[in-house]
Amino acid sequence: MRRWWSKMRPWMTGRATIDNDLAEEVRSHVEMETDAFMERGMTPEAARAAAGRHFGNATAVTEHAHEAWTFGAFESLIKDIRYGFRAMRRSPAFSLVVILTFALGVGVNTAIFSVVNAVLIKPLPYPDSERLVLLREANAKSDFSVTWGNFNYWRDGNRSFEEMAAFQGFGGTLTGRGDAVTTFGLTVTAPYYTLYGMHPLLGRLLGPQDDLPGAPALIVLSHKFWQSQFGGDPKIVGATLTIDGKPYQVAGVAAPLWTLGRTDYYLSLGKIMGKPTSRGQHRSIGGIGRLKPGVTLAAARTDLDAIMRHLAEIDPGPEGDHHSHAEFLTEVMVGDVRGTLLVLMGAAALILLIACANVTSLLVARSSARTAELALRKAIGAGQFRLVRQLLTENVTIALAGGAAGVLFAFCGLKILAGMAPRSIPRLAETHIDPAVLLFACAITLSAGLLAGLAPVLAVRRIDLSVALKESARVAGVGKGRQSLRSMLVVAEVAITLVLAFGSGLLLRSLAAAQHTDPGFDTARLLSFTLDLPKQSYGSREAIRQFYGRLTDDLRRAPGVADVGAAHCPPPMGDCGDWFYSVPERPNPPRDQVPISLFNMADPGYFRMMRIPMRQGREFSDTDRAGGSKLVVINETVARKWWPNEPAVGHQIKSGGPYQEGDLLEIVGVAGDVRQYGRDAESEPEIYQPSAQNVDSSATILVRATGDPSKLMPAIRARVAALDRNLPLRRFDTMESALGAGLARRRFSTLLLTLFAGLAMLLAAVGVYGLLNYWVTSREPEIAVRLALGASPARILRWTSFHALRLTIVGVAIGAVGGWFAARLLSDMVFGIPAHSPATMAMAAVAVVTLAFVSAALPSWRAARVDAAHRLHQG
Amino acid sequence: MSTVDGPSERIEFLQGTLEVLILRSLQAGPNHAYGIGQFLEQQSGNEFVVDNGSLYPALQRLLQRKWVVAQWKMSPNARRARYYRLTPLGRDQLVEEQSKWRRFVEAMSRVLTPEG
């Protein structure tokens, strides 16, 4: 404490006393030494000089002695920072450019990092979420649901999991409480609640006793559903809800829980499934488990696979070649956005590099101008280390100011980003600036500041006092080394800019390609909506078929409607169910290589209405009845796989493949491929069954309008309501907007990368301008001499432009190589063009060279207008 | 930044030794910085280089620890000089350091001298 106070005191009482004492002490020391030299017979002048020499650097001595009294390093840091601020104020334009450049670099990185942090880094909001694993079955070709039988063996036999639960999607119509609503629930086994860390807000959650067959039918409401559907009714517990005609008693309301999809309520899966019977019945059940601490995913897989192998021996059958499939929940949720976000993060890092290059270049230019000042300070006793530290502190101070502005940028940028981000990126909406993000911003600011500040500082160490003090500041700065450093920086900036321009060019062209792909059908004036007929009112196949028949007839007669069709799963709905199939006339494939296709259902008007061309045969007609022989239309992809050189019509395929039960289906037609997953997806194998032979309570109705399709929406609602007032219309949208929504993520990443490329271009333009401007300034005397010797201004213009061009070409060459490698990282996001597209590279290169030329124009023009006479007189 | 352009074979101070030597030089009586420097160079037979860049900070550290106090006085040749004087605390410290150094030197020479 005393030691500490003795250090603090000079701060309180002023350091003046100590400094005065020290200064006087040094003076008296030198005088005494002078006396001593005079005693040895020197003249007073010689003695004084000798004593001064002998004493050494008085400033340094007092400085060091003083530091004993203070938090030396700390105090001089404060001094350096204060000096840094003073330097900033002295050249506000320079400081502003540097701060803005840093702010741009740090801002972009902070914004993107906060997204990466929210989406990829932060653990999911469940207890020990990093140990949560999704469990499925798989064979050699793909992974699929786990059967109730196998799940129970896994749960009871494994040694790797603390807990394991099964879940299954559940859709149903809630009736008896106002309008009918389509709801989406989950049927789960009891451990599901603990795995997700759920708590009851009202009542209770379900436990193991509720999972037994014969237990009362209970329902747990999600917080959101309770709020939206029941207005947060506090007396809901105990009430009875009717879903698909069945009563469920409300057991409780769950506390708010973050989920990726919509979950309205939870039902007991164990009660519905009962005792496991056959191992082979797949019912779209998924498993979730929490690994015991220290157990790896691979070990857990091996554990479950051993169970499967044992089961294959004692209970052989279609499940015999299946093994377990386990993936971390986090990976399943964010795995597919990781690539996009990392590419954006990489692009942001490149922008920071350009920003650093620009700032370095500026700082080098300025420290050249400050050589004289620095040389003077060195001469009057500032130590090498002290000078270096002071310059570094100055640079880092200005970087920190830029970083602070950058965080502000990021804050505003995030608001915009969250607004335009596609909802398919999980947790993006929760992005905000938190301590981790601030720490990141600090870290990159400091490293950027040090990186940018280092080069000019290293130059200080080489200052030659005798030269620097004699020459004028400007001349001293024009070292060949510095010019070449700045030239290298510009080359690097041009190269990085080209990489970004190339990348954004690839994405822009991919987006354009995706927007202009032929989806395989005519999207014009098309509307679609999905209906789910509740089982209690539409119990029989006949009732369902009648309803859809009446609805399509009604709609067809409505004014403004050109045509109507229905399908189970039209594009871009993607995968609504795939299944094994085989071609009986070909040899049976091995068990793990049975082909899989999407199975869809289409009504007799579907292909005509969608304007999907029939390549062979015919489409379904009204005469394809339930009792007749089973028919299918396959798409071109399937036809090409099995019958590339002959008509497919007349051949047969078997649903379910050789090892599962299924009907023999006769091919009556081959339809053109459609992009089932959206505009930027490739076509998949697809098999259509006639609606009359494969009745499904859920169907999507498509309506082609004669005019603006959105104007038809109220009339369509009215027609559906006229048939059944209790039917909610889902996914009611125009086809154009549904297809556009599928491109949301592509549009998002393209927009951001293009924005980044734009920023890079802006920074590179400033960099080229700055370098050439400085180059011209330092060569003014030379230019003046050339002009005086008869060079025309046009020639000077060519000379300076050539200088800029040379650097740009080198940068473009390096950037082209870099871009070629970077294209590999982008290949997943590129669509419709090759990732290594020379045309795109050429366009990017032209853009960058043009940019460099434009930014070089002003300095070149200035060079051509140097007043030779004036400059030569001056020089 | 050496103060002396003398022969390079003269001995540099070991870390921390300068402070003991200053305390020792003040045992003879109060002295000023210049005097302390002179004393140490002479006593060491001109083996020690006294660098003012080390001497002054060392004096400040001794002041801080209250092992010495400083006072402005007139020197014999009528110069105003800042005289450092040992405090009782400094005297104790010197005794302690001296015994520590003796043990150190003995140990060093035992190690360095080859056994007969």
Q: What is the pLDDT of residue A469?
A: 57
Task: Tell me which chain B residues have a C-beta less than 8 angstroms from the C-beta of A61.
Answer: 52-53, 56
Helix A329-369 × helix A384-420 angle, to 10°: 140
d(CA A726, CA A242): 13
Indicate whether A380 and A283 sit together in one domain.
Answer: no
DSSP string for residues in A428-442:
GGG----HHHHHHHH
Judge whether A720 and A729 are in contact, CB under 8 Å: yes
Q: Is A43 exposed, middle or buried (CB count within 10 Å of its CB: 0-12, 13-18, 19+)?
A: exposed
- The dihedral formed by the CA atoms of A396, A401, A402 and A404, expressed in degrees to the nearest 10: 120
Q: How confident is the model at residue A7 (pLDDT cuts 50, 70, 90)?
A: low
Q: Is B77 on the interface with A (CB under 8 A)?
A: yes
The closest CB to that of A21, out of B75, B77, B82, belongs to B82
DSSP string for residues in A551-597:
HHHHHHHSTTEEEEEEESS-TTS--S-EEEEE-TTSPPPPGGG--EE
Beta bridge partners of A339: none
Helix (H, G, I), strand (E, B) or coil at A134: strand
| DSSP state at residue A118 | I
| Cβ contacts from A onto B, under 8 A | 69
The closest CB to that of A32, out of B3, B56, B79, belongs to B79
- Residue where a domain terminates, one of A320, A352, A378: A320
Interface test with B, best of A32, A67, A386 (most B CBs within 10 A): A32
Helix A58-67 × helix A72-90 angle, to 10°: 120
Strands (E), A154-280: 161-175, 181-188, 200-203, 218-221, 240-243, 246-254, 265-268
Mean pLDDT for A396-421 is 87
Q: What is the pLDDT of residue A769?
A: 87
Q: Is B33 on the interface with A (CB under 8 A)?
A: yes
The closest CB to that of A25, out of B61, B75, B82, belongs to B82
Classify residue A80: in a domain, yes or no.
no
Interface test with B, best of A64, A71, A378 (most B CBs within 10 A): A64
Is the ipTM beyond the 0.85 threshold? no
- Residue B46's contacts (CB-CB under 8 Å, 6 or more residues apart) are B10
Indicate whether A429 and A454 sit together in one domain.
Answer: yes
d(CA A325, CA A305): 9
Classify residue A597: in a domain, yes or no.
yes
Q: How confident is the model at residue A174 (pLDDT cuts 50, 70, 90)?
A: confident
Please state the domain count of chain A.
Answer: 4
Q: Is B53 on the interface with A (CB under 8 A)?
A: yes
Residue A532 exposure: Cα atoms within 13 Å on the Cβ side: 17
Of A475 and A581, the structure prediction assigns the larger pLDDT to A581
Domain ranges of chain B: 17-112
Q: How confident is the model at residue A213 (pLDDT cuts 50, 70, 90)?
A: confident
Q: What is the pLDDT of residue A703?
A: 94
Q: Is A8 on the interface with B (CB under 8 A)?
A: no
Interface test with A, best of B22, B32, B60 (most A CBs within 10 A): B60
CA–chain centroid gap for A195, Å, is 28
Helix (H) or strand (E) holding A635: strand A631-635
Q: What is the pLDDT of residue B8?
A: 43
Task: Tell me which chain A residues have a C-beta less than 8 angstroms from the C-beta of B79.
Answer: 28, 31-32, 35
d(CA A193, CA A210): 13
The phi, psi pair for A216, rounded to 5°, reads -60, 150
Amino acid at A508: L
Rg of chain B, C-alpha, whole Å: 16
Task: Tell me which chain B residues have a C-beta less than 8 angstroms from the C-beta of A70.
Answer: none
Q: What is the pLDDT of residue A832?
A: 85
d(CA A209, CA A134): 24
Indicate whether A168 and A314 sit together in one domain.
Answer: yes
State the nearest Cα–Cα gap between A454 and chain B, in angstroms.
25
Q: Is A373 on the interface with B (CB under 8 A)?
A: no
Task: Tell me which chain B residues have a C-beta less than 8 angstroms from the C-beta of A62.
Answer: 56
- Mean of per-residue pLDDT scores for chain B: 81
Judge whether A511 and A754 are in contact, CB under 8 Å: no
Nearest residue of A to residue B71, measured between CA atoms: A21
Interface test with A, best of B19, B39, B41, B56 (most A CBs within 10 A): B56
Indicate whether A664 and A550 sit together in one domain.
Answer: yes
d(CA A799, CA A811): 19
Q: What is the pLDDT of residue A475?
A: 45
The closest CB to that of B80, out of A26, A28, A56, belongs to A28
Indicate whether A864 and A811 sit together in one domain.
Answer: yes
Give, in order, the Cα–Cα distances in Å from A709 to each of A147, A563, A778. Answer: 44, 12, 67
- Residue where a domain terminates, one of A70, A89, A104: A70
d(CA A751, CA A763): 18
Q: How many CB atoms lie within 10 A of CB A204?
A: 14
Q: How many CB atoms lie within 10 A of CB B10?
A: 14
d(CA B48, CA B17): 11
φ/ψ bin of A832: left (φ > 0), alpha (ψ from -120 to 50), beta (otherwise): left
pLDDT tens-digit readout, A614-673: 999 999 998 888 888 899 999 999 999 999 999 999 999 999 888 888 889 999 999 999
- Mean of per-residue pLDDT scores for chain A: 85
- Residue A769's contacts (CB-CB under 8 Å, 6 or more residues apart) are A855, A856, A858, A859
Q: How confident is the model at residue A468 (pLDDT cuts 50, 70, 90)?
A: low
- Residue B37's contacts (CB-CB under 8 Å, 6 or more residues apart) are B50, B52, B55
Mean pLDDT for A183-190 is 91
Please answer yes or no on whether B53 and A62 come within 8 Å at the CB atom. no
Residue A704 above 90 pLDDT?
A: yes
Classify residue A829: in a domain, yes or no.
yes
Q: What is the pLDDT of residue A481?
A: 61
Q: How confident is the model at residue A6 (pLDDT cuts 50, 70, 90)?
A: low
Classify residue A521: in a domain, yes or no.
no
Task: Tell me which chain B residues have a C-beta less than 8 angstroms from the C-beta of A57.
Answer: 1, 53
d(CA B37, CA A43): 23
Residue A479 above 60 pLDDT?
A: no
Classify residue A229: in a domain, yes or no.
yes
Q: What is the pLDDT of residue A186?
A: 93
Indicate whether A352 and A396 sit together in one domain.
Answer: yes
Please answer yes or no on whether A54 and B3 come within 8 Å at the CB atom. yes
Mean pLDDT for A106-123 is 88
Please answer yes or no on whether A62 and B56 come within 8 Å at the CB atom. yes
| DSSP state at residue A296 | -
Q: Is B78 on the interface with A (CB under 8 A)?
A: no
Q: Is B69 on the interface with A (CB under 8 A)?
A: no
Indicate whether A305 and A361 sit together in one domain.
Answer: no
| DSSP state at residue B11 | B
Indicate whether A557 and A661 sit together in one domain.
Answer: yes
Lowest-confidence region among A65-69, A121-125, A222-226, A666-670:
A65-69
Classify residue A84: in a domain, yes or no.
no
Nearest in space to A605 (alpha carbons), one of A558, A561, A565, A664: A565
Percent of chain A with pLDDT over 70: 93
Helix (H, G, I), strand (E, B) or coil at A658: coil
Indicate whether A496 and A565 sit together in one domain.
Answer: no
Lowest-confidence region among A170-174, A241-245, A864-868:
A864-868
Residues of chain B with pLDDT under 50: 1-9, 116
Q: Is B61 on the interface with A (CB under 8 A)?
A: yes
Give, in order, the Cα–Cα distances in Å from A391 to each of A70, A85, A360, A484. Answer: 21, 12, 13, 21
Task: Tell me which chain A residues have a C-beta less than 8 angstroms from the C-beta of B77.
Answer: 32, 35
- Residue A192's contacts (CB-CB under 8 Å, 6 or more residues apart) are A165, A166, A167, A186, A266, A288
State the nearest Cα–Cα gap between B112 and chain A, in angstroms.
36
d(CA A30, CA B112): 41
Q: What is the pLDDT of residue A467?
A: 60
State the nearest Cα–Cα gap between B111 and chain A, in angstroms.
36
Q: What is the pLDDT of residue A800?
A: 84
Indicate whether A614 and A718 sit together in one domain.
Answer: yes
State the nearest Cα–Cα gap between A48 and chain B, in angstroms.
15
| Domain B17-112 listed as CATH 1.10.10.10 | yes
Of A864 and A567, the structure prediction assigns the larger pLDDT to A567
- Residue where a domain terminates, one of A55, A70, A85: A70
Q: In B, residues 13-32, which contact A (CB 8 Å cutoff)?
A: 32
Indicate whether A276 and A391 sit together in one domain.
Answer: no
d(CA A190, CA A212): 10
Q: Is B6 on the interface with A (CB under 8 A)?
A: no
Nearest residue of A to residue B59, measured between CA atoms: A65
pLDDT tens-digit readout, A777-806: 878 888 888 888 888 888 888 888 888 888
3-state helix/strand/coil string of A448-466: HHHHHHHHHHHHHHCCCHH
Percent of chain A with pLDDT over 90: 37
Residue B99 exposure: Cα atoms within 13 Å on the Cβ side: 5
Indicate whether A589 and A463 sit together in one domain.
Answer: no
Number of H helices, E strands in chain A: 28, 22
Please answer yes or no on whether A56 and B32 come within 8 Å at the CB atom. no
Range of the domain at A185: 141-320
State the nearest Cα–Cα gap between B3 and chain A, in angstroms.
5
d(CA A406, CA A400): 9
